[in-house]
């Protein structure tokens, strides 16, 4: 066979693969998806068997042209995009475009799949190609059509009933429901008081603590002691009975095993990276993609981990053999179990990738890779390497002890502790948890025997209150999505980023809080589209899409079954539901101004309290109780609008207070309350204005010309009044990155000049 053309998604992946293939093979990147649905209504036609209208993505059209040009000089096309539904769809779209261009006539087309970018895996895949799987392609088309139909049908309804510009997604909506319902649980929660009785004691000159478990022969439950008076009475009786001594009545010793966790799936990797490294799901997947596509190890680029979108916990036999070999050499033969550890996936639809996420070779230890990796890459690679190694190590062995201590007749304290006999896998890796209560079993107890008298230091009551369920972190939200079968490994990160971008939720101290808009949208969807945000319904739809990918179901009937009832529901709610039903909630409180009822409303700046008699009565107040008045705006003294000469008002918007024209919406002049600071650097574009320090609407600092809008010169980096020694551009900028520190760089893209800035110390 003559020259081959291999297509992958990214240039990094292309660079890595190229070195494994012969000189007669050209490798090009598609730079992701090459075409998508037309971004307007009608791109999916339900009346014509859901025919889909695609167009080439503008930013990738030049890459498609480059691939088509290269194909003219090649004899065979190998489509080597990622081994999942999305990768299959990219290959199919590219195949269709090339076929329509007529460059595939009399030429072979193959689909190749590999789950790690190593020389053997890539060459084996090219040597054993297959045809495109239309089952996988149709499953992806069905998913894309569903998301499109929901977005283009439900979003306009949200515009009418809530606020313009909002949107709803098929899998994001159940995720939003989770977050909103958790917030409602927290708000409805009523803390309940309870007390525990603790004893501080000493044995063999070693202090330890014990907890009261039985009082007057009755076993204590969480709320057996629920107030300070009762707790004090119990302590007094126990002190009277103890007389400064406790008697060891029983010592129970056990040996237990703790087994290692399975190697990483997409979900568990995102959870652990969040808990251990503080990485968000998007950051985790971005870094994992880099490790998968290839990193220069000094001998050229090599893929360091297997494919990172997977539900599987299985490991290839050759990988297990290599892991066991390294365990034996690093930790001794006693750390290797007699036979390999085996794991079963929890997902009923484990799909696509046939292996868990693991290093392509555990012989590339994190220490050896340190010099080749960025800080983020090293952290994530170390996590994956440790988890993979630990998954094939022997269990940990712990000795546990529970000691019962008598305190007079019918009263018992219990002390528990444990010691590690053999750390096993724990010497390499321990899994984290989202909400970990203090594990008192981990404390080491002094040796004690039945009949021994123990010195009692004090008995103390400890007050506690029950706590509401915790808000979701990224880790716990991903776990909840997985447990409810909402989305798939490749979608968890995008679900979270979409909710944040739409400002339905915000992250506060790494926990998700629904915004006012998110609450209203969530409530609207739950009340009026209950079926479509139901966890079971969403999971069932994912099951059906998986069945399409396996060839067990047809995709057009699936779409037809969804679309009919959904469209009817949207049309019904459009007629029946009023905007006030969604954005207002009547309160059992009278207006202090006119006596009519007050309601909680959603405004442009969030929720507020207002009179139902508006516009006749303009009484309003903030949720926190501060009164406002729509009829008394705060006027900016001594200034007029520079555009229309009207008064300027201080307004409150989505991102806080700002100055706006009183003639809005006729005049849309706005400006920041904060006066921009002058950098003293003359604008290099117009040579008239000076560059000012400003803040964007989202609070990000940038630098722009004082002559705006007549001059639109702007920078993200701080300007420096020095000409570029390379291209003579009048200014340089200061740029700081983690990898390179602070540098002086030329803002001209074509220049590339940079100079290290030494720190003052």
Which residues are identified as catalytic? Answer: 307
Cα 391 to Cα 426: distance, rounded to the nearest angstrom: 10
Q: Which helix (H) or strand (E) holds 139?
A: helix 134-161
3-state secondary structure of 750: coil
Q: Are 233 and 259 contacting, i.e. CB atoms less than 8 angstroms apart?
A: no
Answer for the pair 33, 39: CB distance below 8 angstroms, yes or no.
no
Long-range residue pairs from 636-645, CB within 8 A, at least 24 positions apart, any chain = 641/667, 641/669, 642/669, 643/667, 643/669, 644/669
In terms of C-beta distances under 8 Å and separation of at least 24 residues, what long-range contacts does 10-15 make, across chains too? 10/289, 10/293, 12/290, 12/293, 12/294, 12/301, 13/117, 13/293, 13/294, 15/294, 15/301
Distance CA(414)–CA(562), nearest Å, equals 58
Residues in the chain, total: 761
DSSP structure class, residue 264:
B
Strand pairing partners for 218? 215
Pairwise CA distance, residues 51 & 37, whole Å: 11
Backbone torsions φ then ψ of 528, nearest 5 degrees: -115, -15
Of 414, 455, 411, give the one whose Cα is nearest residue 251. 414
**Beta strand pairing call for 295-296 and 301-302:** antiparallel
User: Can you tell me the distance from the alpha carbon of 166 to that of 159, in angstroms, rounded to the nearest whole number?
Assistant: 6
| First-to-final CA distance of the chain | 63
**Which segments of 162-265 does DSSP mark as H helices, in order?**
172-188, 228-242
Assess contact for 96 and 109: CB atoms under 8 A: no
Contacts of 571 (CB under 8 A, 6+ apart): none
d(CA 63, CA 67) in angstroms, rounded, equals 6
d(CA 750, CA 679): 25
Q: At what angle do helices 11-18 and 281-293 cross, to 10 degrees?
A: 30
Residue 431 burial class via C-beta count within 10 angstroms: exposed 0-12, middle 13-18, buried 19 and up? middle
Task: Report the C-alpha dihedral over residues 534, 535, 541, 544, rounded to 10 degrees.
Answer: -140
Rounded distance, CA 10 to CA 32, Å?
7
Which are the contacts of 707, defined by CB distance < 8 A and separation ≥ 6? 683, 686, 688, 689
Q: Are 169 and 176 in contact (CB under 8 A)?
A: no
- The angle subtended at Cα 32 by Cα 27 and Cα 33, nearest 5°, is 120
Least Cα distance to 260 among 321, 323, 197 occurs for 323
Burial per residue of 124-163, b for 16 or more beta-carbon CB atoms within 10 angstroms, e otherwise: ebbeebeebbebbbbbbbbbbbbbbbbebbbebbbeebbb
Which pairing describes strands 732-737 and 206-215: parallel, antiparallel, or unpaired?
A: unpaired
């Amino acid at each position: 066979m003559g020259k081959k053309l291999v297509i992958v998604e990214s240039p990094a992946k292309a660079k890595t693969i190229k070195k494994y293939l012969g000189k007669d093979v050209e490798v090009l990147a598609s730079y992701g998806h090459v075409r998508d649905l037309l971004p307007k209504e009608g791109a999916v036609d339900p009346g014509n068997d859901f025919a889909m209208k695609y167009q080439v993505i503008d930013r990738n059209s030049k890459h498609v042209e480059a691939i088509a040009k290269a194909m003219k000089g090649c004899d065979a096309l190998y489509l080597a995009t990622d081994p999942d539904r999305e990768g299959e769809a990219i290959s199919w779209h590219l195949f269709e475009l090339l076929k329509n261009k007529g460059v595939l006539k009399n030429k072979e087309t193959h689909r190749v799949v590999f789950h790690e970018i190593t020389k053997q895996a890539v060459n084996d895949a090219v040597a054993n190609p297959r045809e495109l799987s239309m089952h996988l392609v149709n499953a992806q088309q069905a998913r894309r059509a569903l998301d499109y139909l929901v977005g283009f049908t439900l979003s306009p309804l949200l515009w009418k009933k809530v606020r313009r510009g909002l949107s709803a997604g098929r899998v994001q909506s159940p995720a939003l429901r989770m977050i909103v319902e958790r917030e409602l649980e927290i708000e409805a929660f009523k803390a309940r008081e309870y007390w525990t009785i603790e004893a501080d004691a000493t044995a063999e000159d070693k202090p330890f603590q014990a907890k009261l478990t039985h009082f007057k022969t009755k076993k204590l439950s969480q709320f057996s002691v629920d107030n300070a008076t009762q707790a004090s009475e119990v302590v007094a009786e126990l002190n009277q009975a103890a007389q400064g001594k406790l008697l060891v009545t029983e010592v129970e010793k056990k040996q237990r095993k703790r087994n290692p966790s399975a190697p990483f799936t997409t979900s568990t990797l995102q959870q652990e990276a969040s808990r251990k490294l503080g990485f968000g799901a998007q950051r985790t997947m971005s870094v994992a993609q880099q490790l998968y596509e290839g990193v220069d190890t000094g001998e050229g680029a090599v893929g360091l981990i297997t494919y990172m979108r997977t539900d599987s916990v299985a490991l290839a036999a050759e990988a297990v053999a290599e892991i066991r070999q390294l365990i034996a050499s690093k930790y001794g033969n006693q750390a290797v179990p007699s036979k390999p550890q085996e794991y079963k996936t929890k997902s009923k639809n484990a799909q696509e990738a046939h292996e868990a996420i693991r290093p392509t070779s555990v012989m590339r230890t994190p220490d050896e890779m340190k010099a080749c990796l960025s800080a983020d890459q090293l952290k994530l690679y170390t996590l994956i390497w440790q988890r993979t190694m630990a998954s094939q190590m022997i269990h940990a062995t712990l000795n546990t002890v529970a000691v019962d201590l008598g305190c007079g007749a019918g009263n018992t304290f219990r002390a528990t502790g444990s010691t590690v006999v053999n750390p096993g896998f724990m010497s390499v890796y321990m899994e984290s948890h989202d909400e970990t209560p203090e594990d008192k079993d981990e404390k080491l107890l002094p040796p004690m025997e039945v009949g021994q008298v123990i010195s009692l230091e004090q008995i103390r009551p400890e007050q506690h209150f029950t706590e509401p369920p915790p808000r979701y972190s990224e880790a716990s939200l991903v776990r909840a999505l997985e447990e409810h079968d909402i989305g798939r490994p490749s979608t968890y990160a995008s679900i979270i980023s979409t909710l944040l971008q739409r400002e339905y939720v915000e992250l506060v101290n790494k926990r998700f809080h629904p915004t006012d808009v998110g609450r209203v949208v969530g409530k609207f969807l739950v009340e009026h589209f209950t079926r479509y945000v139901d966890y079971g319904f969403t999971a069932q739809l994912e099951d059906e899409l998986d069945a399409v990918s396996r060839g067990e179901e047809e995709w057009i009937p699936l779409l037809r079954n969804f679309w009919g009832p959904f469209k009817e529901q949207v049309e019904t709610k459009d007629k029946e539901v009023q905007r006030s039903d969604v954005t207002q909630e009547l309160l059992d409180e009278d207006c202090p101004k006119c006596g009519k009822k007050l309601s909680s409303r959603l405004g442009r700046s969030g929720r507020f309290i207002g009179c139902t008699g508006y516009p006749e009565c303009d009484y309003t107040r903030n949720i926190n109780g501060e009164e406002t008045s729509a009829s008394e705006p705060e006027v900016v003294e001594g200034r007029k609008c520079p555009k229309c000469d009207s008064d300027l008002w201080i307004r409150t918007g989505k991102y806080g207070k700002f100055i706006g024209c009183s003639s809005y919406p006729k005049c849309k002049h706005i400006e920041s309350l904060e006066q921009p600071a002058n950098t003293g650097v003359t604008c290099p574009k117009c040579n008239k204005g000076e560059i000012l320090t400003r803040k964007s609407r989202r609070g990000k600092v940038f630098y722009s010309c004082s002559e705006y809008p007549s001059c639109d010169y702007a920078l993200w980096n701080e300007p420096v009044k020095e000409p570029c020694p390379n291209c003579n551009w009048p200014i340089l900028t200061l740029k700081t990155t983690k990898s390179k520190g602070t540098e002086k760089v030329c803002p001209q893209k074509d220049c590339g000049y940079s100079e290290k800035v030494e720190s003052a110390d």
